[in-house]
Amino acid sequence: DTLWDLAIAEVEKRENPDDDVKPGEVWEKSILFMGNKNGGKTTIILRCLEREESPKPTLALEYTFGRRARRHNSPKDVAHFWELGGGTSLVELIRIPITVHNIRSFAVVLVLDLSKPNELWTTMESLLQVTRNHVNKILTKLEKTNPEVAAEIKQRMWNNLKRDHPDSALVDPFPIPLVIIGSKYDIFHEFDSEMRKIISKTLRFVSHYYGASLVFTSKSEALLLKARALINHLAFGYDKSKSVSVDPSKPLFIPAGLDSMSQIGPPPASDSDLGKMHANTPLELWKKVFEKTFPPKSFSNLQDTKDPAQDSQYAEYEVDVMRAQKNQELEQYKRNASKSWKEMDFDSD
């Protein structure tokens, strides 16, 4: 290599410190969007991809992609965008996009509807728990087949915290990059100031605990651009923003690793209330405090019980006729089986 070749390689390395892709190769990343039903996930994806389309309801698990060039005359990198519909009702489908083959380049965006605080914790806990369990299973497999990669993934999530960070013993980073987006800020902004403070502090704690970035957004172009900046960092390796906004009277914007427990402060409850709460972890304590103000809706209420097959926007005559026939055959089978069961002569012994 000539001196100029070495200089160009060094500049590219500095511009893309987290980029494992060699010059000339294509960067490929995958992102899963999940969260509240009707929380604005599709709108955020379309804005990130600069598509002027009207968002439609998401059916189960949907896929799209985007392309970007890192620099002039370079191949376009690819970002795979997956969107999980149905709130928490279809969470098991996360196994489809997150695999052992793409785990190194995968990230999660959790979109929480700020206008529905009574659903917030249950939605967040359910989605992150199932996702984390699935990722951990993949990492367990990798430890046997490719221990170096497994170790690299685990270590990478601690890189957002500076060395000797005072919160190292108090956090439990999510195993893959995570961005938490609080959507519908325009509605949230009309809430009582004390309610806003509790929700903001709680989401700051949760994000810091999981080593995640946090941003509040709405249909406002300025706020969507901030969310887009965080997502573009994950999807295309764009520079990570270092600006921070922690004022509870304004939209929060806190990139991963730039918050701390001392700045967040204790859970928003009186000392006497905190003393009565029994919790094994800081996360459990914050949950109890949050749900004291915003009692959660029952899990069954968060399920999407509407049958997509009955939705007129997905009507297909031939498919629907066949489905109706199969339903009739199933009902007939049930009746015959029930009749046979009743006619059986059971031995009293």
Model confidence at 15: pLDDT above 80: no
Per-residue model confidence (pLDDT) at position 71: 65
Per-residue model confidence (pLDDT) at position 338: 57
Model confidence at 272: pLDDT above 70: yes
Average confidence (pLDDT) over 235-249: 85
Confidence band for 114, pLDDT divided at 50, 70 and 90: very high
pLDDT digits (tens, 9 = 90+) for 53-102: 777 777 788 888 888 776 666 678 888 999 998 888 888 888 999 999 89
By C-alpha distance, which of 146, 108, 140, 141 is closest to 30?
Answer: 108
Yes or no: say if 104 and 92 are a contact pair by the CB < 8 Å rule: no
Per-residue model confidence (pLDDT) at position 246: 92
Per-residue model confidence (pLDDT) at position 348: 44
Per-residue model confidence (pLDDT) at position 305: 46
Q: d(Cα 162, Cα 58) in Å, to the nearest integer?
A: 39
By C-alpha distance, which of 202, 232, 237 is closest to 112?
Answer: 202
Total number of residues shown for the chain: 349
Scan for tokens 């859970």, then name that residue.
267
Model confidence at 301: pLDDT above 50: no
Q: d(Cα 122, Cα 128) in Å, to the nearest integer?
A: 10
Yes or no: say if 334 and 161 are a contact pair by the CB < 8 Å rule: no
Of the two residues 29 and 316, the one the predictor is more confident about is 29
Per-residue model confidence (pLDDT) at position 72: 66
Q: d(Cα 50, Cα 10) in Å, to the nearest integer?
A: 32
Confidence band for 156, pLDDT divided at 50, 70 and 90: confident
DSSP 8-state code for residue 105: G
Model confidence at 229: pLDDT above 70: yes
Yes or no: say if 68 and 144 are a contact pair by the CB < 8 Å rule: no
Backbone angles phi, psi at 144, to 5 degrees: -90, -35
Where does 103-177 show beta strands of DSSP type E?
106-113
Q: What is the mean pLDDT of the chain?
A: 82
Average confidence (pLDDT) over 272-300: 84
Model confidence at 125: pLDDT above 90: yes
Backbone angles phi, psi at 335, to 5 degrees: -65, -45
pLDDT digits (tens, 9 = 90+) for 22-56: 555 667 899 999 999 888 898 888 888 878 777 77
Where does 7-147 show beta strands of DSSP type E?
28-35, 61-69, 76-84, 106-113
Beta bridge partners of 113: 183
Per-residue model confidence (pLDDT) at position 53: 76
Confidence band for 210, pLDDT divided at 50, 70 and 90: very high
DSSP 8-state code for residue 163: T
Q: d(Cα 172, Cα 250) in Å, to the nearest integer?
A: 27
Three-state SS at 184: coil
Least confident range of 82-96, 194-208, 335-349: 335-349
Domains assigned to the chain: 25-260 (3.40.50.300)
Per-residue model confidence (pLDDT) at position 321: 80
Of the two residues 212 and 340, the one the predictor is more confident about is 212
> Which range, 95-104, 316-325, 334-343, is most confident?
95-104
Per-residue model confidence (pLDDT) at position 346: 45
Residue-by-residue DSSP string for 217-231: --S-HHHHHHHHHHH
Average confidence (pLDDT) over 172-191: 94
Residue-by-residue DSSP string for 14-44: HH-TT--SPTTSPPEEEEEEEESTTSSHHHH
